[in-house]
Amino acid sequence: MATGRNHRPATSRSRGIPDATVARLPLYLRALTALSERSVPTVSSEELASAAGVNSAKLRKDFSYLGSYGTRGVGYDVEYLVYQISRELGLTQDWPVVIVGIGNLGAALANYGGFASRGFRVAALIDADPAMAGKPVAGIAVQHSDELERVIEENGVSIGVIATPAASAQPVADRLVAAGVTSILNFAPTVLSVPEGVDVRKVDLSIELQILAFHEQRKSGELPDDGRAVPGTDIGEDAGGGVTGSPVAPPAASVTKRTASAAPAATDRRGDEPGNDGDLPAVMPA
Amino acid sequence: MATGRNHRPATSRSRGIPDATVARLPLYLRALTALSERSVPTVSSEELASAAGVNSAKLRKDFSYLGSYGTRGVGYDVEYLVYQISRELGLTQDWPVVIVGIGNLGAALANYGGFASRGFRVAALIDADPAMAGKPVAGIAVQHSDELERVIEENGVSIGVIATPAASAQPVADRLVAAGVTSILNFAPTVLSVPEGVDVRKVDLSIELQILAFHEQRKSGELPDDGRAVPGTDIGEDAGGGVTGSPVAPPAASVTKRTASAAPAATDRRGDEPGNDGDLPAVMPA
DNA sequence: CTATCTTTGTGCACGCGTTCACAAAGACAT
DNA sequence: ATGTCTTTGTGAACGCGTGCACAAAGATAG
């Protein structure tokens, strides 16, 4: 998963569709599209729910926000539902998208086929590196950052994708917004601050992995002891660690007055320059 | 956001840390790491919260689940908190990870630096294409799928990343699980079914973009009319559609008996082979 | 030692989301 | 036309997450 929403004061749902439901509509749409391709005429809420990996009651309630599109005793008409959900999501219109930061990730995104098939169209690829300019990626010539504003205006772009290093993300976001973009998908590991009315969604692999690690640790049963409860046996693992040697050593629990010089964290980082840690998007451009 | 959680019966939090809190810990950790590198000794909940992009009350409540690590009137000791959160997330130990599917995305992931600096280590890159075998990606030689089980066993891998096309995702997941993997990060646009006790997290760019499109549509105020209210003027847009011509035509609302031959969806898909629509991960491998 | 000031930790209330369970609606058979 | 059977749509209860607001805790000055 990408990671949660961002900003936007909870009272966001314009007409009444809950955010949680909106987030599931693409899931339903995907499942329905698959059924459509297999020429299945109708599905029950039960079948569709299991295909989408959700609870059938939840699915029915979700659909109830869109209207009564089902037929009792039969189920839902696949084609009709595909259309209704597409329309509700705004996928029946063309969405020109600009991708900023054509590194490894940006290139991967540009190549993504699911883009076009869902109403999205890559209007331009932008990179700050002059050496990239003109290079074709996914059949589209990369343009220099200078062209950003012009491209946005000419194509009426309202959705931008940021795949730059963290340091560039905020400036890029500012320029996108200034040029008229009102929705941003951010792959850089930074908190973007944007004016009211601009939507930001964040995707961060690093966070997803850390969440997995948390649950993994719990499963192995061996959650490290409380850190303060057993002051004598704490460091055991960390001290000897070679490759396993972990980034952080346990500082003293007592707080008052401890200057940075005493900070053990400075000794970690196996070879990365400090400051470069989260500097690149989860999926890093070259 | 990558997309929500998956499976796992809500009563998951082992000792008492809410899932929502766990999902935010990496955010705090990133902000704290940045402070640590700037040698800032302490932060208030207010400062840290704004750096992480959350509410300060929420942050304090989150930390309260970990214990009382703050000092009233002063704030939190940065180094100590970095350690505590790292430990809680399980980042003080080494997590060997295997990446399956070395396309565009898989390669981008392998290159990601934030991996290693957080306790994750790429143990192996696996691809089904024999031509890939031996090729170095990010300094690691790609291995053929046949090696999957051996690699997992030898390295004690418990976390797997799937970056294959959708069709391969489930078989790969099955093999991962059978070999001992208990946490999976899935980039393929499919619902994976896994046995109890295996965690799956999903990242799907396509879904994120669709959610953005929804809000974007709402902002433009022009939400298309109700779709059933105007039965006469329905097809208008779709029939003539060129590039903008949308994937779905509005089928009749009446349900009963409509065979697949009448299904308009077969006429869409601008050039994609049917079935290839969501076939690749959000960020597609070559 | 006392007073003041800052900041944490948390009790409480509210709202959103999920789930259950069932009545209503329609299909289908007789 | 009537009855049965399937499946939807939703009212209601519950639980989690969020945010407010404040008391308790400690630092700091006098």
pLDDT band at B10 (very low <50, low <70, confident <90, very high): very low
Give Cβ neighbours of residue B144 (< 8 Å, ≥ 6 apart): B126, B127, B128, B130, B132, B133
* CATH code, A125: 3.40.50.720
Q: How far is B175 from chain A (nearest CA, A)?
A: 18
pLDDT (0 to 100) of residue A5 = 35
pLDDT (0 to 100) of residue A15 = 58
Q: Considering only the beta carbons, identify the residue of A26, A29, A282 that sits closest to B112.
A: A282
Find the mean pLDDT for residues B116-122: 88
Q: Which of B89, B106, B136 is the last residue of a domain?
A: B89
Q: Rounded to the nearest 10 degrees, how much is the dihedral formed by the CA atoms of A190, A193, A197, A201?
A: 10
Q: What is the distance between the alpha carbons of residues B190 and B188, in angstroms, rounded to a whole number?
A: 6
Bridge-based pairing of strands A159-162 and A199-202 is: unpaired
Task: Give Cα separations from A211 to A17, A207, B77, B125, B243 (angstroms).
Answer: 28, 6, 23, 22, 40
Closest residue, CA to C1' of D19: B57
pLDDT (0 to 100) of residue A115 = 78
Residues B201 and B118 in one domain: yes
Q: What is the distance between the alpha carbons of residues B84 and A240, in angstroms, rounded to a whole number?
A: 19
Q: Is residue B213 part of a domain?
A: no
Q: How far is A125 from chain B (nearest CA, A)?
A: 15
Q: Is residue A14 part of a domain?
A: no
Residues B140 and B37 in one domain: no
Q: How far is B145 from chain A (nearest CA, A)?
A: 22
Q: What is the distance between the alpha carbons of residues B86 and B96, in angstroms, rounded to a whole number?
A: 17
Q: Which of A89, A110, A133 is the last residue of a domain?
A: A89
Q: Is residue B182 part of a domain?
A: yes
pLDDT (0 to 100) of residue A254 = 39
pLDDT at position A260 over 50:
no
Residues B109 and B184 in one domain: yes
Q: Which residue of B has its CA nearest to A261?
A: B39
pLDDT (0 to 100) of residue B269 = 31
Which bases in strand D are touched by protein, i.e. have an atom under 7 Å from a CB?
A: 5-11, 16-21, 24-28
pLDDT (0 to 100) of residue B205 = 86
Q: Is residue A198 part of a domain?
A: yes
Q: Taking all residues of chain B, what is their mean pLDDT, rounded to a whole number?
A: 80
B56-66 and B78-89 helices cross at what angle (nearest 10)?
60
> In this complex, do A119 and B94 lie within 8 Å of one another by their Cβ atoms?
no
- Cβ(B18)–Cβ(B65) below 8 Å: yes
Residue A159: strand, helix, or coil: strand
What percent of chain B shows pLDDT beyond 90?
Answer: 65
Task: Please work out, in degrees rounded to the nearest 5, the angle formed at the alpha carbon of residue A258 by the alpha carbons of A255 and A263.
Answer: 105
Q: What is the distance between the alpha carbons of residues A148 and A153, in angstroms, rounded to a whole number?
A: 9
Picking from B212, B217, B219, B270 by the largest number of A CB atoms within 10 A of its own CB, the best residue to mutate is: B212
- CB-CB neighbors (< 8 A) of A217 in chain B: 89-90, 93
Picking from A21, A38, A211, A238 by the largest number of B CB atoms within 10 A of its own CB, the best residue to mutate is: A211
The two three-digit tokens of residue A121, written as one number: 């169209």
Give the largest CA-CA distance in chain B: 72
Q: Is residue B73 part of a domain?
A: yes
The two three-digit tokens of residue A88, written as one number: 């509700």
Please report where in the chains the tokens 């004598």 appear, as a residue: A232
Residues B47 and B106 in one domain: no
Q: Considering only the beta carbons, identify the residue of B79, B94, B209 that sits closest to A243.
A: B94
pLDDT winner (highest mean) among A10-14, A110-114, A127-131, B271-275: A127-131
pLDDT at position B152 over 70:
yes
Task: Give the domain range for residue A155.
Answer: 95-205
- CB-CB neighbors (< 8 A) of A263 in chain B: 36, 39, 78-79
Higher pLDDT, A8 or A100: A100
- pLDDT tens sequence across B243-259: 333 344 455 444 333 33
> In this complex, do B82 and A265 lie within 8 Å of one another by their Cβ atoms?
yes
pLDDT (0 to 100) of residue A283 = 57
Report the sign of the C-alpha dihedral through residues A143, A146, A149, A150, in that order.
negative
pLDDT winner (highest mean) among A116-125, B72-81, B254-263: B72-81
pLDDT at position B126 over 50:
yes
Strand order in the sheet with B70-71: B42-43, B75-77, B70-71
pLDDT (0 to 100) of residue A117 = 78
Residues B99 and B202 in one domain: yes
**Nearest in space to A184 (alpha carbons), one of A220, A275, A1, A174:** A174
Residues B47 and B109 in one domain: no
Residues A113 and A70 in one domain: no
For the ranges B30-39, B63-72, B196-205, B264-273, the lowest mean pLDDT is seen at B264-273
Centroid of chain to Cα B242: 33
Find the mean pLDDT for residues B180-195: 96
pLDDT (0 to 100) of residue B34 = 96
What percent of chain A shows pLDDT beyond 70?
Answer: 72
- Cβ(A89)–Cβ(A116) below 8 Å: no
Which residues does strand D reach (CB under 7 angstroms)? A 10, 43-46, 56-57, 60-61, 63-64, 68-76, 255-256; B 10-11, 18-21, 54-55, 57-58, 60-61, 71-74
- CB-CB neighbors (< 8 A) of A254 in chain B: none
Question: DSSP letters of B166-210?
Answer: HHHHHHHHHHHHHHT--EEEE-SSS-----TT-EEEE--HHHHHH
Q: Would you say the C-beta of A228 is within 7 Å of strand C?
A: no
Find the mean pLDDT for residues B49-75: 97
Closest residue, CA to C1' of C24: A72
pLDDT band at A235 (very low <50, low <70, confident <90, very high): very low
Q: Is residue B245 part of a domain?
A: no
Residues B100 and B197 in one domain: yes
Residues B103 and B187 in one domain: yes
- The total domain count for chain B is 2
Find the mean pLDDT for residues B208-235: 67
Closest residue, CA to C1' of D24: B72
Q: Taking all residues of chain A, what is their mean pLDDT, rounded to a whole number?
A: 80
> In this complex, do A255 and B71 lie within 8 Å of one another by their Cβ atoms?
yes
Q: What share of chain A is helix, strand, coil (3-state, %, to 5)?
A: 40, 15, 45
* CATH code, A53: 1.10.10.10
- CB-CB neighbors (< 8 A) of A205 in chain B: 2, 109, 112, 114, 185, 203
Q: Phi and psi at residue A283, in whole multiples of 5°?
A: -105, 105
pLDDT band at B283 (very low <50, low <70, confident <90, very high): low
A102 is in an annotated binding site: yes
pLDDT band at A205 (very low <50, low <70, confident <90, very high): confident
pLDDT (0 to 100) of residue A113 = 76
Residues B170 and B117 in one domain: yes
Residues B49 and B138 in one domain: no
For the annotated binding site of B, the residues are 101-106
The two three-digit tokens of residue B37, written as one number: 């590198």
Q: Which residue of B has its CA nearest to A1?
A: B2
Q: What share of chain B is helix, strand, coil (3-state, %, to 5)?
A: 40, 15, 45
- CB-CB neighbors (< 8 A) of B34 in chain A: 278
Residues A74 and A122 in one domain: no
For the ranges A192-196, B62-66, B203-207, the lowest mean pLDDT is seen at B203-207
Closest residue, CA to C1' of D7: A73
Find the mean pLDDT for residues A258-264: 35
Q: Phi and psi at residue B271, in whole multiples of 5°?
A: 100, -20
Find the mean pLDDT for residues B51-80: 97
Find the mean pLDDT for residues A136-160: 97
Q: Is A196 left (phi over 0), alpha (psi -120 to 50) or beta?
A: beta
Find the mean pLDDT for residues A23-29: 98
Please report where in the chains the tokens 């299904």 appear, as a residue: B263
Q: Is residue A268 part of a domain?
A: no
The two three-digit tokens of residue B224, written as one number: 């298309």
Nearest nucleic acid nucleotide to A63, CA to C1' distance: D9
pLDDT at position B146 over 50:
yes
Q: Is residue A193 part of a domain?
A: yes
The two three-digit tokens of residue B49, written as one number: 């919260």
For the ranges A208-212, B221-225, B233-237, the lowest mean pLDDT is seen at B233-237
pLDDT (0 to 100) of residue A280 = 61
Which bases in strand C are touched by protein, i.e. have an atom under 7 Å from a CB?
A: 5-11, 15-21, 24-28
Å between CA of A193 and C1' of D6: 52
Q: How far is A147 from chain B (nearest CA, A)?
A: 23
> In this complex, do B274 and A37 lie within 8 Å of one another by their Cβ atoms?
yes
pLDDT at position A82 over 80:
yes
pLDDT band at A8 (very low <50, low <70, confident <90, very high): very low
- pLDDT tens sequence across A35-80: 999 999 999 999 999 999 999 999 999 999 999 999 999 999 999 9
Q: How far is A124 from chain B (nearest CA, A)?
A: 16
pLDDT at position B85 over 80:
yes
Q: Considering only the beta carbons, identify the residue of A4, A22, A244 that sits closest to B94.
A: A244
Q: Which of B70, B89, B108 is the last residue of a domain?
A: B89
Nearest nucleic acid nucleotide to B66, CA to C1' distance: C9
